[in-house]
Structure 1
Amino acid sequence: MAADEGKMKIEKFDGADFGFWKMQIEDYLYQKKLYQPLSENKPEGMNDEDWTLLDRQALGVIRLTLSRNVAFNIAKEKTTAGLMAALSSMYEKPSASNKVHLMRRLFNLRMTEGASVAQHLNELNTVTTQLSSVGIEFDEEVRALILLSSLPESWNATVTAVSSSSGSNKLTFDDVRDLVLSEEIRRRESGESSTSSVLHTESRGRNSTRGNGRGRSNYRGRSKDRRSKSRNPNNSHSSKTVECWNCGKIGHYKNQCKSASKDHEAKAEANVTSTSGGDDALICSLESNEESWVLDSGASFHATSQKQFFERYVPGNLGKVYLGNDQPCAIIGKGVVKIKLNGSVWELKDVRHIPDLRKNLISVGQLASEGYTTIFHGDDWKISKGAMMVARGKKNGTLFMTAGGAVQLQLQQK
């Protein structure tokens, strides 16, 4: 409940967040020219009667912003200065228990997946401000690190990129805050388009055993046992609720389908791929020039489907990925790819070869682990290593893409 004071609303103080309430009430008293009674010193030239009236007016305003349980504790106070001193003694004193309580709040503070960054920043700033009021201060770098540490798992690649970008310089809270807010905007924009969404990493838990059938069940159980049952083509419940990934009809799996096979990859919708050996999944869209490379802070690794791009290519069985229709696609090799960009050649290492992938991916997280710094600013991006700028480019729709293609090598026959 809020106390209405003209056009302003001051939340009633109920014993929590005294520092914020104190700031609000002092600002209001100054706006209404009732601030003088906050000190016990009567202004020169003011008679006792006027001073008593002014003090009583300020006292009444403060009382109206207190909840019932707080107001009873200070009912005996008859002056504004005495009332504020009593409240400070009860709620602002830097006791050890109060410090422990605030530190626990700070350590347990973590942004939930999909939550607003602005709201999370507000909660973080509230706790650090309260700690400051009891004598615990954090410098800029510590505040920046606290913010990065409080981000959820889906932000891991961003955290790695930001942490690596500082080099020997200290992080500042304002810079990290601005980067996180910009990343949220980029993610929101990319999520609005199903055909040009930027790559990102998500966690998808998979059972160790997979059913032989291929279909999407309309039944969504939470437990792994339920999910396992919904994948079993012999299960009577699942056979009635699954959707065939070949013909799209309900009631059977793909391996039971009698319709002709269709090329689902031609659909203009995002493909989802996940490594069979882990929980990472790469989400990519289908519309882009095959010579261009998409830059994203959530991609797990560099990847391309074009074998002719590779130099020092090493073939091998490096696992599988699964597309959105659960079709397995093999990672059949890796190597070095050289990209011609901005008049120079940039070398990407450990690029995976996935023939069925529809985009060329540059992983910001992998770049960070190799010592590169990636900066997104508005519609521009740039990558540097030390003092040398390696690459730069502009935003294309909702994708951060390179403007150049890979150097295609002419292999000599021995």
Structure 2
Amino acid sequence: MEESSSSSSATMLKLTASNYSIWNPRMEDILYCKDLYEPLQLLGQKPAGKSNNAWSILNRKVVGQIRQWVDQSVFHHVSQETDAYKLWTKLSSMYERKTAQNKASVIRRLVNLKYRDGRSVTEHLSDFQGLINLLTNMKMVLDDELQALVLLSSLPDSWDTLVVSLSNSAPQGVLTLDIVKDSMFNEEARRKEQGVVAESEALVSEYRGRTNNRKFHRRDKSKGRSRDGSRGRSKTRKDLECYHCGGIGHIKRECRLFKREQDRGNEKSDVRHTTATTSDGNEVIILCGDGFVNLSSQDTYWIVDSGASFHVTSQRDFFTSYTNGDFGNVRMGNDKLSKIVGRGDISLETNTSCHLVLKDVRHVPDMRLNLISTGLLDNEGYTNVFVEGKWNSARTLLS
């Protein structure tokens, strides 16, 4: 018994002006473990059959035990007390005042409590529960659902996916505190698991006007060379490349897109800010003037960059699917690092209703530009050609 008591005392903290809500229950535990609880349990009233001398000695033992765990900054307030119950209630009145001002202060701290990415969920829940306990001691009891909603609202924007998921899946629209806590622990574990992978750094360079007169061909992975084949080898028809649309299997004068543009008199038109799409056999072709892809919003542009390792955007609302998390950093063109806070897919729609799905786009809030990586499009089977200030991307469809 003595060993157990000394062990519990060894982890005890001293009372200060800021930790009463934690100190109080732990001090009670020590008094009960040492059989010194009677003066508090009986509210200072001497039980029948106990002598005055024995009661006085017991009170002094309790007072001595309590004052042993009172910080020097607090000690002078209780240094003259010899009655255990009076000392106990005095400390309560000092640090557990149930005034409207104190209640408002605790509620304000609870509402303003915010979780920070990277912090332990256990620590955050401890802070949250400490404030709930303070309110409970002030006779202000929040029901379970309200506690769950307050805790959920303490999560940052990077946890929006979890917040929306829990809100939509709550049975009969009612969340419980246990559900929110369990979900937070699961999300923390998932993010830590993803964080095991080495920090990814994407070399993203801002648009430098390098798109003119550059061609990028998808390589034949099985042979380790481009579709053009080895130098000096005569081309079969399937190796022919159209220098107008970038398609394979025909030349410019046979190009349906070229003929259609001629028929419409578009060969001399200004295509600086327009896009077009056409289907040529088993290929879908997307054209875009000056490397810009215009979204449905006319004020939003994507820049086609051959130097970008990833598709990147700063706009959270562009994503059709999204996963929050710490996915490493992006190295900008000025060598500064910016956080990747999420990733997902984005479906682009040009002003000609052509759809282009970008996979595994990085969400970087600090990014000033939205970038499309031609390297990733190459890997996905697109052929990217830059001719006369126009981006031309074609993809062979699987039949």
312, 315, 319: which is aligned to 2:354? 315
Distance 1:12 1:212, change over 3 A: farther
2-side partners of 1:74 and 1:180: how far apart? 42
1-side partners of 2:345 and 2:371: how far apart? 20
2-side partners of 1:58 and 1:29: how far apart? 7
130, 141, 149: which is aligned to 1:137? 141
2-side partners of 1:29 and 1:213: how far apart? 77
Q: Describe how 1:93-108 pairs up with structure 2 within 5 A.
A: 93-108=97-112
Q: Rg: which structure is higher?
A: 2
CA RMSD of aligned residues (A): 4.2
Residue 328 of structure 1: aligned partner: 372
Partners of 1:280 and 1:300 within 8 A in 2: no
Partners of 2:14 and 2:69 within 8 A in 1: yes
Partners of 2:15 and 2:70 within 8 A in 1: yes
2:53 equivalent to 1:49? yes
Give 1:188 deviation, angstroms: 0.7
| Aligned residue-pair number | 252
AA partner of residue 56 (structure 1): R
Partners of 1:117 and 1:180 within 8 A in 2: yes
Q: Deviations over 1:67-123 (max 9, x none)?
A: 122121122322000101111122212012211221221122101121111110011
1-side partners of 2:378 and 2:127: how far apart? 44
184, 189, 192: which is aligned to 2:193? 189
1-side partners of 2:317 and 2:110: how far apart? 29
2:85 equivalent to 1:81? yes
Partners of 1:157 and 1:298 within 8 A in 2: no
22, 31, 41: which is aligned to 1:29? 31
Structure 2 segments unaligned to the other structure (5+ residues): 212-305, 328-340, 364-369, 381-396
2-side partners of 1:187 and 1:128: how far apart? 27
1-side partners of 2:38 and 2:94: how far apart? 23
Partners of 2:31 and 2:62 within 8 A in 1: yes
1-side partners of 2:21 and 2:139: how far apart? 12
Residue 155 of structure 1: aligned partner: 159
SS in 1 for 2:173: coil
Partners of 2:347 and 2:355 within 8 A in 1: no
Using structure 1 for the length normalisation, give the TM-score: 0.52
Distance 1:299 1:173, change over 3 A: farther
Residue 66 of structure 2: aligned partner: 62
SS in 1 for 2:192: helix
Residue 335 of structure 1: aligned partner: none
AA partner of residue 72 (structure 1): H
Q: Which has the higher contact order (CA 8 A, sep 6+)?
A: 2
2-side partners of 1:155 and 1:184: how far apart? 10
1-side partners of 2:22 and 2:358: how far apart? 54
Using structure 2 for the length normalisation, give the TM-score: 0.54
Distance 1:42 1:168, change over 3 A: same
2-side partners of 1:103 and 1:10: how far apart? 28
Q: Which moved more, 1:68-77 or 1:126-135?
A: 68-77
Give 1:17 deviation, angstroms: 3.3
SS in 2 for 1:33: coil
Partners of 1:18 and 1:91 within 8 A in 2: yes
SS in 2 for 1:28: helix
SS in 2 for 1:14: coil
Residue 118 of structure 1: aligned partner: 122
Distance 1:211 1:102, change over 3 A: farther
Structure 1 segments unaligned to the other structure (5+ residues): 198-203, 215-262, 266-270, 286-296, 305-313, 331-353, 359-408
Partners of 1:276 and 1:319 within 8 A in 2: no
AA partner of residue 274 (structure 1): V
Partners of 1:320 and 1:329 within 8 A in 2: no
2-side partners of 1:32 and 1:131: how far apart? 29
1-side partners of 2:315 and 2:183: how far apart? 32
37, 44, 52: which is aligned to 1:40? 44
1-side partners of 2:82 and 2:91: how far apart? 13
